[in-house]
Chain A
Amino acid sequence: MRLAYWMYEGTAHHGVARVMNSMRKTHAVFHAPQGDGYVNTIFTMLERTPGFPAMTTSVVSGTDLARGTLRLPETLRQVEATRHPELIVVVASCSTILLQENLEIAAHQSGLSCEVMVYDANPYRMQETAAAEGLLTELVKKYATPQPLTPMPSVNILGPSSLGFHARHDLISLRRILKTLGVAVNVVAPWGASVDDLRRLPAAWLTIAPYRELGRLAAEYLEAQFGTAALCEAPIGVQPTLRWLDAVIEQLNAVGARLAAPPSPLKLPPLTEFSLDGMSAPSNVPWFARTADMESFSGKKAFVFGDATHTVGITKFLADELAMPIAGAGTYLVKEAAWVRSQLQGYVSDADFLATDEFQQVADRIGQLRPELVCGTQMERHTGRRYDLNVMVISSPTHIENHLLAYRPFLGFDGADVIADEVATTCTLGMEKHLIDMFGDAGLELVESPVAPSVEPVLASNGNAVVSPVAAVADVVKPTNGHASEAQPSNGHAPEAQPSNGVASSAGAAASGQATPMPVVNPVWTADGEAMLKKIPFFVRGRARGNIEKYAREHGIAKITAEVLLAAKEHLGA
């Protein structure tokens, strides 16, 4: 047992719901207590669904358990009568699975004319992504039928799904690219697919499965069973998209060459044809990255944390295409850690790699590194707010703020532009920043609230949340998590300490420093120290405060005076 505050992955039944809600004429039924139906809310609120999500809770109450009532057959009948699905997938919940009821028999007894499948998603052994991937794979195995290939080159796209990160936008981007190539889309699944569509999967020449989390196993199955070639790469960034295009063409031409009547081989059209107007650069990233303004990005360190696909794709993009140093990277998909690790060879060292699904550990790592850009999930925005760091969301789990209306893919050329824009607007600006650094506040000086330790949560709307020195120190020092609260300085327990060189500038520092415990010192700011700190531009002040306190701790300085601040600045090279 452990104490958990936030979860990265959803539950197994949430994963099932994502697949069922993606497909046409399918429905999930949760055999679960009231409350487990909360997953409906995530769909109706984040995706703003105008229809009722394809999931129903067959409520199990304490009274039902006492009386031995099983409502499942009646619920199944109601779902069939009102929603007319072709397939219903039944899953137990974390509590009802302990009852060891035979849901197969109950489902059978309901006497439905549609197909009912009891999916064995043990919520103690699998979470959202494993349950979704497992179900999609099982459905593809169940329905895919041998058949001739389409006469002209065609692809399946496996992976886009309800509540997938920017999935709808990615799908638009992929469709645009394929249309430009002159390649037809045979089936997209689970997004918008019916059971019949799954039957037609083997007619495609190639399966594209861009996400490590969903669709890959089904693509591999189609390859093993039907010989359908599979391309399981994510075209994130301009260079990967170019390589991905070459691979699509090469693999399709190889299939075409084996046909009795091969169509003429595909060729890469002029790149400008991939742009929205057909006459411009398909992406502005290669030029943007070379502009003088981007010079100020070259030294900015980034920390990347998310699912497998996006952690790998974004880390490489930042390093290869924007030339940003990588302070560290990691994933909450612990089962994919080895793959992510191998993909990021040469980008992050072992010490700078983190695989954990515990929020506190990620928060601690970010607190140690204080990178200038955090690419993370919604959870890392909490951490960014606490340490006053720039955070952009690159992976699920998301917040309603990540579900914007405009076209914002992460895949393909269009995606590269979206990601680069996000980086540029999240980080502080270039030349303007130098001016502010030199001369102060550019008229933007905000009134900083008095430093007051607080036990209250910091609201999202409070964009200028101030971290008290006590809290900041406590957050960094405490080994378990950063939920510092009351005014008591957390004396008396061993710190998981800071990098010995004290500066968050060396990427490997934090991890290597972990092994060296330091005596606990909770420095306090003197009035002249505070006054001096106020002269540091407000948008870097939080980070400066953290770094200076770190310097003070490492040098055993209890009081941060103006003199100490200047010494720290000199030491840090700031």
Chain B
Amino acid sequence: MPPKAQFTREDGIYHSFCGLVSVGWLYQKIKDSFFLILGTHTCAHLLQNTMGVMIFARPRFAISLLEEADLSSAQPAIADQIAEITREHHPSVIFLLSSCTPEVMKVEFEGLAQSVSTPEVPVLFVPASGLDFTFSQSEDSVLQALIPFCPEAPPDDKRVVFLGSVNDAIADDFLFEASRLGIPVAGFLPANHFHELPPIGPGTIIAPLQPFLAKVANQLTNERGATVMSSLFPFGPDGCRAFWEDLAAHFDLKVDLSEREAASWARIKAHTDLLKGKKVFLSADTLLELPLARFIRAAGAEVLECSTPYINRRFHARELALLDGVRLVEQANFERQLRSIAEEQPDLVISNIITANPLIGHGVVAKWGTEFIFSPIHGWAGVSTLVSLFTRALRRHARLDPLGSDPVWMAGVMPGAPEIIPLTRG
């Protein structure tokens, strides 16, 4: 047994988004889908601001807007809206997402979704409210809703299903790699289209690509008898080697990828040289933090803290084992983190998108954690992108002249003119 990693849970006075923001990539991934959020003005304002989606002209998501008069009705009437969506967007599937207000109103979502669902255009309930779900977590809910639409695979169909939404280039990379190693592939969950979902059964090996999908993985075991691979997530040379070797082992293939790993590290040596001995503080909210910390540590950096919204002892077991000795925090208190940053003087903070600019204003080199969610960092082909996300901020700040850190250049930018006491020394 590997040593059990210790983590603490704080009170979650932190900055993050709710599960609705997963829509930002899922509607693009599942190309014939539509996402309808039963929510308020707040949900609509959140979506159009946080995801930078104001620049998109034709989104395939919308808010079924709860207004004051709707608060008293027992069950919201959305049939007309579903009809409008079907007419305008011709989706193959509509995801009906919950949000905080209807949760508080105790709207019976399963029944609501069923009442408007048709065999031609199923309407699937997806719990996503900020009361219970953070950021990337509602991808887990969306995939759970898709399980009934995955064909049942017979017991002798022994193939892998990759779990988690990745773009086509990454998917091709995984297909190519699997075929090179002789691993048979049944498909991806989610697929690009609703009717392309992979068959899943007792012979299926589920290979998780994303660390925020614990529940759907569990459900695939319970409902279909599938085997969920426990390995590292395929980020970085170390993660990719473990991932593919472990996956091959499930197919009784013994492969040794040590040379492949070494070559991959060698290709990014210029980056890892820069990272060596650097103190990195992960304080982001994407749920990618554990594997990112494991990779950056393997790359030679010192991880001061890795905080993440939730840790799942079983789903993250292999990552946790490699993070022994690192301070791991669930639902971190942001004010405490600021004190830790001032004490420990990290060279780089991986923050959420909300706090990045203020951290930089306080003299910290900060990088958006959100960018890792939107970048192709999976697999062997993603290694270079992954490592350069860490080094780009370091290199850029090293090249900039020091003028920008003098408060005079920030005068008047913020109307409340708060006194900014730098968190960094020297």
Residues of A within 8 A of B (CB): 1-7, 10-11, 13-14, 20-26, 32-42, 44-45, 47-54, 56-62, 65, 71, 74-75, 78, 81-82, 93-96, 98-99, 123-125, 127, 160-162, 168, 190-192, 378-379, 382, 385-386, 397, 399, 455-460, 465, 478, 480-481, 483-486, 488, 490
Contact = CB atoms under 8 A, between A and B. Distances in A.
Contacts of A95: 40, 99-101, 103-104, 131
Contact of B63 (A4, A191, A382): A4
B20 A35 contact: yes
A52 B358 contact: yes
A6 B40 CA distance: 12
A51 B56 contact: no
A36 B62 contact: no
Given A45-B357, A485-B88, A78 B416 contact: no
A458 B45 contact: no
B354 A40 contact: yes
Contact of B45 (A10, A49, A486): A10
B270 interface: no
Interface stretch (B183-191, B287-295, B386-394, B407-415): B407-415
Contacts of A488: 90
A26 B103 CA distance: 32
Given A3-B64, A50-B357, A455-B31, 16 more contacts: A1-B78, A3-B65, A5-B63, A34-B16, A38-B45, A38-B354, A41-B353, A94-B40, A99-B104, A162-B416, A385-B57, A457-B59, A460-B55, A483-B58, A485-B88, A490-B87
Contacts, number: 249
Q: Max chain A CB contacts within 10 Å: which of B16, B131, B412? A: B131
A75 B70 contact: no
Interface of B: 11-21, 31, 40-42, 44-46, 48-50, 54-60, 62-68, 70-71, 76-78, 81, 84-85, 87-90, 99-101, 103-105, 129-132, 134, 333, 335, 338, 353-358, 360-362, 410, 412-418, 420
A20 B415 CA distance: 10
A95 B77 CA distance: 19
A44 B415 contact: no
A485 B71 CA distance: 32
A125 B101 contact: no
Contacts of A39: 45, 49
A60 B347 CA distance: 33
A33 B131 contact: yes
A378 B54 contact: yes
B56 A457 contact: yes
Contacts of B415: 21-23, 160-162, 168, 190-192
Contacts of B64: 1-4
A82 B418 CA distance: 12
A41 B49 contact: yes
B84 A65 contact: no
B147 to A, nearest CB: 23
B358 A37 contact: no
A482 B193 CA distance: 24
A5 B57 contact: no
Contact of B100 (A23, A38, A94, A465): A94
A55 B8 CA distance: 26
A41 B50 contact: yes
Nearest to A37: B15
A32 B101 CA distance: 11
Contact of A98 (B16, B71, B413): B71
A168 B411 CA distance: 12
A565 B416 CA distance: 59
B54 A50 contact: no
A61 B132 contact: yes
A332 to B, nearest CB: 13
A385 B68 CA distance: 34
23 contacts: A1-B65, A2-B81, A6-B48, A24-B417, A24-B418, A34-B17, A37-B354, A38-B17, A38-B49, A45-B357, A48-B413, A50-B413, A50-B414, A51-B361, A57-B13, A59-B13, A62-B129, A95-B99, A95-B131, A99-B104, A382-B57, A399-B55, A455-B89
Given A34-B134, A191-B415, A459-B55, A44 B335 contact: no
